[in-house]
Amino acid sequence: MGAGRGEKVAFRKQDIVALEALPSAQAEDPILVHCPPPPRILRRLVKASLWMVALFVAGMAGLVGLIEAGAFDAPLNARAESALEKAIGRNVTADVGSTVLRMTASGQLALEARDVSVTEPNSARKMLETASVSLSLDPVSLLQGHVSVSRIEVAGLSLSPELLPRGEPIDLAKARIAAIPDVLDETFRQVDLLSEFVSRSGTHVVRVSDVSFTFAGPRRKPIALTIGTLDFDRGEDGSMRIAGDFSVDGAPATLAVNVERHDGAMQVLSGKVSGITLTPFLHRAADEVETAFGLDAPADLKIEARKATATQPASLAADLDIHDGRFEAGGTFSEAKPSRLSMAYDFDKRSLEITPSELRLGQSRFPLSGAIIDLDQRDSGAPPGFAISLLVQGGVSQPLDVAEPPLVFDAKAEGRFLSDAHRLEFNDLAISSPLGAMFGSLALSFSNVSPELSLAALTERMDTAAVKQLWPWWMGKTSRRWVAANIFGGTVRNGRISVYVPAGEPIEKVGQKQAPHSNLDIAFAMEGARVSVAGDIPPLRDMTGDFHLSNTRMEIKAKSGTTFFPSGRTVALTGGDFIIPDTSEKPLMGEMKISVEGAADAMAELGTYRPIQALQKTPFVPADFAGRVQAVVGARFGLISSQNPPRPVWQTEMTLSGVDLAKPLAGRNFTDLDGRLRIDNQILTLDADANVDGVPLTLAVVEPIGDKSDIKRSRTASGTLSGDDLHRLVPALKDVVDGKIGIEVVLDDKDVQTVSADLGRAGLTLPFIGWRKGVGIGARLSFVAQKGEGSATNLRDLVFEGDGFGFNGAMTVDKSGLQTARFSNVRLTVGDDFSADVERRPGGYGVEISGASADIRPLLARLKSSDSSSDDPSGKVANPPSISLAARLDRLGGFNGESLTGVNLTYRAKGSEITALKLTAGTGSRQGLAANLVEDGGDSIIEMTSGDAGAVARFADIYSNMRGGLLNLKLRDRGANSWRGAIDIRKFALVDENKLRSMVSTPSGADGRSLNQAVKRDIDLSTARFERGYAELLYDQGALRVASGVVRGVDVGATFQGTVRDKRANMDMTGTFMPAYGLNRLFGELPLIGVLLGNGRDRGLLGITFKLEGPFDKPRLTINPLSIIAPGVFRSIFEFQ
């Protein structure tokens, strides 16, 4: 091929050849098929037909093009106005702004008239305006030269303001019940006119679309009604079917109405409105201020109406079928179940009757009937409005959140609605049920804001179950929920409800508390109710009290009741309050303050329940308490755990009466507690009198509660203890303290005890050093006690102080008594200045004393008193402790102003048995003093020597009139507290001994002469000097006796024997006193004559017998008057026996 790609190729007629002539068809025996030629006439007819169709289509297309281009718009404009006037009727003029002719989708011609208005010629008033009117034209009539309308569609209809005011919405409250028959007649008449309109226009269907108008809803809020499409379809018999769709505030619904025509007029109307929403009429949506309120549900409305004729009366009935929805109030809702409200018009009474209907809300049912009539139908002078009568028979109230059997009740409401004031009044409200009755009144005033509400109701008696069932859930809803969940059984008396809400102030606002000018008040008294007070505390039973809800404050004042615990224990309520201060608060908080009383174990069990839970923080259980307790329990706690409330705050104040603790506390038994105990989240405080181990004390205790408490522990026990009480508490002090002691013990948070004691009315004895503070001498003792190792207790910072005496130190004691003691600055008397260490050793104690000076007089006095007070014939104590004393003192003070210096003492004893003694010291006259205990053949011998026997006697307060003397004392221990020995004193004098003067100056004898008179001179005994004094000593169980006693002097001498001191500190001694002893003794030394006249070696010629008896400190002297004249051996006849 020579042609290039894309080049046009043309074939001539002669280039077309038969197929069999082509090279590919050349064969030896070709098979050829010949088709018969088509008839030429048929081909021509087909071609002609196709040309005619093409011409028709082209012509129609041209015609449509001309129509769509508006070629016929001007000629048809006048014809359109004429057709509209004919279709609408007489006495009106139709004005068309512009007219266009177009083809419809169904192939009809449509004449669309734009900016159409209908005017009444007489008044020049425009009756309606519309954006467009579309007329479907009959093509046949149009070809014949005239316009015939088969269908009319109206869009953008706007009624005249005179017919439907546009400034204010239609107010349904202005309607009249008595006008319903007229409205019904007018409805049938308008349907007749519509039917005639359709008939005159030659059309079958008239469609109206995009029509809207408003009317007043709640709070006069405009409600928009928009008609989407509304078709008026006229039947062949003249009946009319109206169908379409519309919306109310944007919610779609459908309409289907059939109007039947009989005897040339419309007589029967039946219709149904499906899916119409009740929300714009009966519901207020939530906004930024108010919560939602009202019924939100769709419904179907059925209407049956019949026009009055000669043979039948007029009738009108309607059924409103409400579908599933919800009723919202107070931020919550209840399910609206399918319900029916049936109404019929009574043409005789001219009233709207509510025929038996049923409204269902949740599980509750309200069978309803009643009537509505114009007020002036009852009273000719009444203002515009309606009289309303409603009746509920066999209603069932069963809220989902109330755990009570359904309540069957009857109710009635008689009232009126004032149209001008937009006020609804029910002055006669009554509810009756088997559980009680209630009566009240209600008033609502409607305006452009939230309505004004006024409600009052009273009940004389009603069961609490009925109160919970009838309490609307949106009114005081938090309080209602609490009552529903926590109060059961019992009876309500003298109940009242008062609600007032000013216009524009709803009861509850979003995110805010109740409006300040609103007033919600519910109050009633309860009897025999079971009330759950707080937390996990078992409920109060048989409670009597008062309930009061004022706005957002709920309060229950309890008067009496009983709480039963699972253990069988009970607590009686004697009064108290439970309060929710603000029911709108989140988290919701409750406050409780109740007064209870009961057994101590029951009160303790009360403390185990939430929100208190105090006992769990102690080592006790309820069974550990006995006695009686009165308590005031207060708490503030969250009521709804999901709101994450703060931790409960609680406190309990108890009055204890004879409470005993079964379990020891701090190792002590506490019984008979009387006082007050206060416990809260942080602290426990106890102020009470109690017996601690049988000892009466006053307790002041502060204890932290919980691990996070920053309270410091403080436990104080104080009181005045008798000696027996103290010995029961601290047996180790039995021999130390006697009398009454004022004591205070403080235990801190580290279990450290601070003890202070007033010893003014007590006697205090320090047995190891023989010191004693007498009763009535003021003194105080304080120390800090802390737990040591094992059972030991350490006493530190010990301070003992009084008037002129005291010491500081530390001690360690355990269950066996004193373990160690360290005393410093010891001043038990004026001359004391030493320190002492005491340590318990196996079998006894070791005492070490060192310092500048010490006063030993108390010890010496104790030794003398102990000797005289011992009643044990053996002188032994069962298993007596051993004492080991080591003293190093610069000065040791004794009696009579005497003191020892450079004292070095080692002393050991077990009971009264001395096992070791070593003493070295110097007297005030610089004479030495030494004492030792030596062993001799298994016996213990005490040897004492001193160069100043008088100083030693005065130091020990044995005898104060001796001066000087060389002392040698030896005593042998015979066991059983028995000693034998001798004392030998040389070169000493007796000064100012009154008993010697009495012997020589006391008249005696038959002639009444004294010894001075017998020797014919005054014997000077102011200072009696002696060469030697000797006596044998016999000491047995605290009694000291002497034998073969003799004193030899230059001027006087004496012999003596007897008991120096018995166990009762009495003396009984006898002897012979001899004046001029040096000369008088010579007669006794003469052979034979001395035996007769001198009566022995140490007896003289002249002498007088005497007797000393009575108390050791002040013995009585008795002289035998006859003994002076009996010389020598004959004087023994007159000696005292």
The secondary structure of 984-1048 as a DSSP string is EEEEEEEES-HHHHHHHHS-BTTTTB-HHHHTTS----SEEEEEEEEEEEEEETTEEEEEEEEEE
- Say whether both 692 and 774 belong to one domain: no
Distance, CA of 1123 to CA of 1073 (rounded, Å): 10
**Residue 307 to residue 261: CA distance in whole angstroms:** 11
Query: Per the structure block, which two tokens stand in for 944?
Result: 């004492």
Lowest pLDDT segment from 21-25, 825-829, 939-943, 1061-1065 = 21-25
241-250, 310-319, 884-893, 1045-1054: segment of lowest average pLDDT: 1045-1054
| 487 and 391 in a common domain | yes
Per-residue pLDDT reduced to its tens digit, 969-1023: 999 988 778 889 999 999 998 888 777 767 666 665 555 666 666 655 666 667 8
Split at pLDDT 50, 70, 90, the class of 1125 is very low
Range with lowest mean pLDDT among 163-172, 247-256, 622-631, 926-935: 163-172
Top pLDDT among 766 and 66 is at: 766
- Shared domain for 322 and 223, answered yes or no, is yes
With bands split at pLDDT 50, 70 and 90, how would you rate the model's confidence at 164? Answer: very low
CA angle 610, 612, 618 (to 5 degrees): 110
Tokens of 58: 């082209």
Query: CA-to-CA distance for 109 and 142, rounded, in angstroms?
Result: 9
Structure tokens at 824: 């410093």
- Do both 598 and 730 map to the same domain? no
Tokens standing for residue 368: 């309803």
Residue 390 clears pLDDT 70, i.e. is over it: yes
User: What pLDDT does 613 receive?
Assistant: 81
Domain shared by 346 and 404, yes or no: no
In a domain, 57, yes or no: no
| Span 766-785, average pLDDT | 81
Do 510 and 583 belong together in one domain? no
Cis upstream peptide for 181 (omega within 30°): no
- In this predicted model, what pLDDT tens digit does every residue of 808-862 receive, in sequence order? 999 888 877 788 989 999 888 888 899 999 898 888 889 899 999 988 887 777 6
CA distances from 550 to 304, 336, 1075 (A): 49, 30, 117
Q: Are 273 and 301 in contact (CB under 8 A)?
A: yes
For residue 338 the two structure tokens come to: 């399918």
Q: Could you tell me which residues come within 8 angstroms of residue 383 by beta carbon, excluding any fewer than 6 positions away?
A: 375, 418, 419, 420, 421
For residues 1062-1088, average pLDDT: 66
Give domain status of residue 80, yes or no: no
- Predicted local distance difference test score (pLDDT) of residue 196: 78
- Domains: count for the chain: 6
Residue 73's φ and ψ, nearest 5 degrees, are -65, -45
| 637/643 Cα distance (integer angstroms) | 12
pLDDT category, 227, cuts 50, 70, 90? confident
Residues 173 and 321 in one domain: yes
pLDDT for 172 beyond 60 = no
**Range with the lowest mean pLDDT among 137-151, 933-947, 1042-1056?**
137-151
Mean pLDDT across 242-249? 90
Q: Which helix (H) or strand (E) holds 321?
A: strand 315-322
pLDDT of residue 1122: 47
Q: Which domain holds residue 639?
A: 568-707
| Between 69 and 305, the higher pLDDT residue | 305
Q: Looking at the predicted structure, is the pLDDT value of residue 1095 above 50?
A: no
- Which amino acid type is present at position 557? K
The helix/strand/coil state of 160 is: coil
Could you give the CA distance from residue 336 to residue 356 in angstroms, rounded to a whole number?
Answer: 19
Residues 747, 858 within the same domain: no
Phi, psi of 493 (to 5 degrees): -130, 150
In the structure encoding, which two tokens stand for residue 295, read together?
A: 């019924």
Residues 577 and 697 in one domain: yes
Per-residue pLDDT tens for 1126-1135?
Answer: 454 444 444 4
Name the one residue in this structure whose structure tokens are 């709070």. Answer: 219
Contact between 232 and 191 under an 8 Å Cβ cutoff? The reply is no
Judged on CB neighbours under 10 Å (0-12, 13-18, 19+), 417 is buried
For residues 1096 and 1128, state if they share a domain: yes
pLDDT at 51: 59
Name the H helices within 674-791. 723-729
Mean pLDDT within 732-736: 71
CA 142 – CA 149 distance, rounded (Å)? 10
Separation between Cα atoms, residue 245 and residue 227, nearest integer Å:
6
**Is the pLDDT score of 749 beyond 60?**
yes
**Looking at 950, 970, 985, which one is the last position of a domain?**
985
Q: Give the C-alpha distances (Å, rounded to integers) separating 644 from 401, 591, 682, 1047, 1054.
A: 22, 17, 21, 105, 107
Strand pairing category for 332-336 and 364-374: unpaired
Give the span between the Cα atoms of 886 and 836, in whole angstroms. Answer: 10
pLDDT value, residue 669: 86
Residue 928 has pLDDT above 70, yes or no: yes
Q: How many CB atoms lie within 10 A of CB 509?
A: 17
CA gap 1026, 986 in Å, rounded: 7
Q: What is the largest CA-CA distance in the chain?
A: 225
Distance CA 972, CA 934 (A): 10
Does 605 map to a domain? yes
Flag whether 136 is in a domain. no
Is residue 758 domain-resident? yes
Question: Smallest Cα–Cα separation from 1054: which of 1066, 1041, 1039, 1070?
Answer: 1070
Across 572-586, 607-621, 938-952, least confident range: 607-621
Residue 579 pLDDT: 92
What's residue 8's pLDDT?
61
- Mean pLDDT of all residues belonging to the chain: 80
Helix axes 73-88, 180-200, angle to 10 degrees: 140
Instruction: Give me the torsion for CA of 268, 269, 270, 275, rounded to 10°.
Output: 180
Question: What are the tokens at 688?
Answer: 């009470």
- Last residue within a domain, chosen from 707, 727, 755: 707
Q: Are residues 465 and 511 in the same domain?
A: yes
DSSP string, 630-686: EEEEEEEEES-GGG-PPPPEEEEEEEEEEEEESS-BTTB-EEEEEEEEEEESSEEEE
| Residue 616 CB contacts under 8 Å (≥ 6 apart), including other chains | 608
Q: Band the pLDDT of 873: cuts 50, 70, 90.
A: very low
Other beta carbons less than 10 A from residue 560's beta carbon: 15
Distance CA 854, CA 834 (A): 6
In the predicted model, is pLDDT for residue 737 greater than 70? yes
DSSP-assigned states of every residue in 815-865: TTEEEEEEEEEEESSTT-EEEEEEEEETTEEEEEEEEEEEE-HHHHHHHHH
Does 587 score more than 50 pLDDT? yes
Q: Report helix, strand or coil for 80.
A: helix
Q: Is the pLDDT of residue 193 over 60?
A: yes
Q: Estimate to the nearest angstrom the gap between the alpha carbon of 923 and the chain centroid.
A: 78
- Better pLDDT: 1125 or 280: 280
Three-state secondary structure call for residue 27: coil
In angstroms, the CA 947 to CA 932 distance is: 16
Asked whether the CA dihedral 823, 824, 825, 830 is positive or negative, the reply is: positive
Lowest mean pLDDT among 37-51, 225-239, 757-771, 1039-1053: 37-51
200 falls within a domain: no
Map residue 152 onto helix, strand or coil: strand
Q: Return the higher-pLDDT residue of 270 and 1007.
A: 270
**252 pLDDT exceeds 50?**
yes
Q: What 3-state class would DSSP assign to 763?
A: strand
Structural domain includes residue 10: no
In the prediction, which pLDDT does 525 show?
A: 95
Shared domain for 262 and 376, answered yes or no, is: no
CA distance 438 to 897: 105
Q: List the structure tokens of 106.
A: 């169904």
CA atoms within 13 A of residue 112's CA, in its CB half-sphere: 13
The radius of gyration of the chain from alpha carbons, rounded to an integer in Å, stands at 66
Residue 1096 has pLDDT above 60, yes or no: no
pTM to 2 decimal places:
0.62
The reply to whether 116 falls in a domain is no
Ranges 27-31, 163-167, 195-199, 529-533, most confident: 529-533
pLDDT above 50: residue 1090:
no
Question: Cα separation of 666 and 747, whole Å?
Answer: 10
Collect all residues with Cβ–Cβ distance below 8 Å to 59 and sequence separation of at least 6.
none
In single-letter form, the type of residue at position 900 comes to: L
Domain boundary among 315, 340, 357: 357
Judged against a pLDDT cut of 50, whether residue 104 lies above it is answered with yes
Rounded CA-CA distance 286/1117 in Å is 122
